[in-house]
């Protein structure tokens, strides 16, 4: 069982630069058809300061750590038993190439179902840019399949 004492715990903040090359690689890897997600001129023509990060990119930014599975490992969860259950985003100011984004994550809840056979961890992350603008939040729910 995951230690319920982790509920409410915050993890070390992460500040990361949004790299244009990374945004282009993400656009290619997801077969993005819209040029604003890979071409600076197209992005600026559409009103953005620079290439915008797509809707799910905050998730990628949070993986830019020495240990991308930091909260899973800190809670001593076996990665092989982890599934992604739900993912939600809310949006504030646009995130664009060149931005410095600071992410702060904390454990919202941990609970179990089916007599402990499945445990759920809800991690909420908020983000700000270098101007102090609110970039929105993301909330992920992971499911841990425990051995019977």
Non-local (6+) Cβ contacts of 41 within 8 A are none
Q: Are strands 82-91 and 134-145 parallel, antiparallel or unpaired?
A: antiparallel
Write the Ramachandran bin of 8: left for phi over 0, alpha for psi from -120 to 50, otherwise beta.
left
- Number of residues lying near other proteins (CB under 8 A): 39
In angstroms, rounded to a whole number, what is the distance separating the alpha carbons of residues 5 and 76? Answer: 13
Task: List the one residue from 19, 20, 50, 64 that touches other proteins (CB under 8 A).
Answer: 64
Task: List the one residue from 20, 35, 44, 118 that touches other proteins (CB under 8 A).
Answer: 35
In angstroms, rounded to a whole number, what is the distance separating the alpha carbons of residues 131 and 118? Answer: 41
Q: Is 12 helix (H, G, I), strand (E, B) or coil?
A: coil
Task: List the one residue from 4, 10, 25, 73 that touches other proteins (CB under 8 A).
Answer: 25
The residue among 7 and 94 lying less far from other proteins, judged by its C-beta, is 94
Q: Does 86 bind other proteins (CB under 8 A)?
A: yes
Q: Does 91 bind other proteins (CB under 8 A)?
A: yes
Binding site for other proteins (CB under 8 A): 22, 25-26, 28-36, 42, 46-47, 52, 54-56, 59-60, 63-64, 68-69, 79-91, 94
């Amino acid at each position: 069982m995951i230690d319920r004492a982790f509920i409410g715990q915050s993890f070390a903040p992460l500040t990361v630069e949004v790299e244009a090359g990374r945004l282009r690689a993400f656009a290619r890897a997801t077969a993005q058809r819209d040029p604003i997600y890979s071409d600076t001129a197209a992005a600026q023509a559409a009103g953005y300061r620079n290439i915008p990060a797509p809707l799910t990119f905050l998730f990628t930014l949070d993986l830019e750590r020495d240990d991308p599975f930091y909260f899973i490992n800190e809670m001593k969860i076996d990665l092989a038993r982890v599934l992604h259950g739900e993912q939600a985003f809310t949006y504030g100011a646009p995130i664009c190439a060149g931005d410095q984004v600071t992410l702060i994550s904390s454990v919202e809840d941990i609970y179990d179902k089916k007599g402990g056979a499945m445990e759920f961890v809800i991690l909420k992350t908020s983000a700000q840019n270098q101007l102090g603008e609110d970039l929105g939040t993301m909330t992920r729910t992971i499911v841990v399949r425990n051995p019977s």
